[in-house]
Structure 1
Amino acid sequence: MENNINRGLAVLGIALGLSLMASAGLAAVTFYKIKTLDQTLTVTGSAKKRVTADAAKWTAQFSRSVPVAELKGGYDLMRRDEKAVREFLLGRGLAESFFVITPVRLEEPFKYNPGAVREYVLNQNVEVNADDVAKVTALSKDFRPLIDAGLVFATLSVEYYFTKLPELRVDMLTEAVQDAQARARKIAESTGRQVGALRGASQGVVQLLPINSADVSDYGTYDTAGVEKDAMVTVRTTFSLK
């Protein structure tokens, strides 16, 4: 049996390189199909691991609203604000290579009152990308010094990423095949048969889900909202029957 499985895993390596197709047997549902003509059993296996984000992205914005006649002064305020933001980030231990401050954007908001004074809104975004997840999270929640300095500053989003998914996927595929094999054995035993060699396999898309979520997708799901996530992969396998 072990030799059969070893030969089967070799087949898996070839098959997975040729086929990246979505699996219909997601979550805890076992898909199986017995073909009596060629004596094979097709089963879907899965593997899931809890992972922790190792990179984070914080996007924030600071802005000024000024009358048209004071536009030049508004740009002067934005230069002052940008300097304050840069000093704040550097003072919190972030090197300049970890953040980007975009150029000033000018927008004219719609006025419901035609007689109202025309105003422009000047705004800039700051994007922080770092592998210190705790520091990025803390920055996104505590920027009081900027508010105290008179800035109109707010967090737009915080996103969390897991960058080691390609390496993890290799181990998870092996576990998914083992899961499929265990399911196949139970199914075969219920019909008085035995599972033979692995004849082929195809990988489903990798899912990175919120904790305890079943919101999978045929095209893959990549959660960026939480620090903790569940990585999940499925494999559709075909075994010979004895």
Structure 2
Amino acid sequence: MEESSRKWAVISVAGILALGMILSSLIVSNSMVKLKMANNTITVTGSAKQQIKSDLSVWTGNFTTQSPQLSTAFNQIKSDQQKIKDYLKNQGINEKDMVFSSINTEVRYATLPNGQYSTQVEGYRLHQQVEIRSPDVDKITELSRQTTDLINQGVEFQSNPPQYFYTKIADMKVKMLSLATKDAMVRAEQIASNAGSRVGALRAARMGVFQITPLYSNEVSDYGINDTSSLEKEITAVMNCEFEIKR
């Protein structure tokens, strides 16, 4: 009886080991299948570039006046505002397109001999800004360079560089993504052809960030660039695509 028990124990251990080997073989086989399927794709980055010209410009100018008396300073800045309106009208700008900010008042205190400020008011300095938005980008570009002529009229005026925007960027992005995807497919086909394979269906696609840069610029950013300083720009789209590879 004892010898019979030993035989069954040996058979049971052998059976367990055999079953373990079979299961291990199935697991390894399954892993190899998955690995083979995982390697049956190719990931390629495609890109597309397009030159664009801005169709909206935003220009701002700042003007300032100061006087020992607040009322005098206020009257002066209102007079300067009217001079600016008249000047811009003569340049072909409609008054409804001129946006004047609220007047900012800065109190100037007298300086003591030790360099510290006293509580005595020395005068008032008033600041105001004018803004113009226009689709006539060429006119605004020229205007931004000429408005310093207001200085000859006694206006303490500073012209800021215009900002340039492209208002159809949403539609452009759709077109650019399509072109970038086609470029990725061409690249994938070239790589697959060299390996004696062909490209199948698109498995996955991930859009990269858009880069809107001045013409001929090589600048890029992980967060994307949206240049507003240049009238002529270049937009770049990137797509990371995963394609099925067929033997």
Rounded Cα–Cα distance in structure 2 between residues aligned with 1:97 and 1:168: 30
Rounded Cα–Cα distance in structure 2 between residues aligned with 1:71 and 1:109: 11
Match status 1:195 vs 2:206: no
Q: Deviation string for 1:176-225 (max 9, x for gaps)? A: 01110111112222322211121221212222112222222222210001
Match status 1:58 vs 2:62: no
- Identify which of 148, 151, 154 aligns with 1:150: 154
- TM-score of the two chains, using structure 1 as the length reference: 0.79
**Structure number, greater radius of gyration:** 2
Residues 205, 109 of structure 1: alpha-carbon distance in 2 compared, 3 angstrom cutoff: farther
CA drift at 1:114? 4.0
The one-letter amino acid paired with 1:124 is Q
- SS of the counterpart of 2:162? strand
Rounded Cα–Cα distance in structure 2 between residues aligned with 1:144 and 1:172: 40
Rounded Cα–Cα distance in structure 1 between residues aligned with 2:149 and 2:162: 19
What is aligned with 2:228?
Answer: 224
- SS of the counterpart of 2:190? helix
Q: Deviation string for 1:120-155 (max 9, x for gaps)? A: 211100011100001111111002542221100011
CA drift at 1:156? 2.5
What is aligned with 2:49?
Answer: 48
CA drift at 1:164? 1.2
Residues 49, 97 of structure 1: alpha-carbon distance in 2 compared, 3 angstrom cutoff: same
What is aligned with 1:101?
Answer: 100
CA drift at 1:75? 0.5
Q: Do 2:148 and 2:157's aligned partners in 1 also have CA atoms closer than 8 Å?
A: no
What is aligned with 2:244?
Answer: 240
What is aligned with 1:183?
Answer: 187
The one-letter amino acid paired with 1:86 is K
- SS of the counterpart of 2:125? strand
What is aligned with 2:178?
Answer: 174
- SS of the counterpart of 1:138? helix
The one-letter amino acid paired with 2:88 is L
Choose 213-222 or 179-188, whichever is displaced more: 213-222
Rounded Cα–Cα distance in structure 2 between residues aligned with 1:189 and 1:151: 70
What is aligned with 2:134?
Answer: 130
Give the alignment's Cα RMSD to 1 decimal.
1.9
Q: Do 2:148 and 2:158's aligned partners in 1 also have CA atoms closer than 8 Å?
A: no
Q: Deviation string for 1:100-129 (max 9, x for gaps)? A: 011211123575464797232111000111
The one-letter amino acid paired with 2:210 is V
- TM-score of the two chains, using structure 2 as the length reference: 0.77
CA drift at 1:161? 0.8
- Which residues of structure 1 form unaligned runs of 5+? 1-34
Rounded Cα–Cα distance in structure 1 between residues aligned with 2:148 and 2:173: 41
Rounded Cα–Cα distance in structure 2 between residues aligned with 1:140 and 1:36: 63
Instruction: Between the two structures, name the one with larger relative contact order (CA 8 Å, sep ≥ 6).
Output: 1
Rounded Cα–Cα distance in structure 2 between residues aligned with 1:109 and 1:157: 29
Q: Do 2:107 and 2:121's aligned partners in 1 also have CA atoms closer than 8 Å?
A: no
Rounded Cα–Cα distance in structure 1 between residues aligned with 2:44 and 2:122: 66
Residues 60, 144 of structure 1: alpha-carbon distance in 2 compared, 3 angstrom cutoff: closer
Q: Which has the higher helix share?
A: 2
Alignment: residue pair count? 206
CA drift at 1:91? 2.0
Identity of aligned residues (%): 35
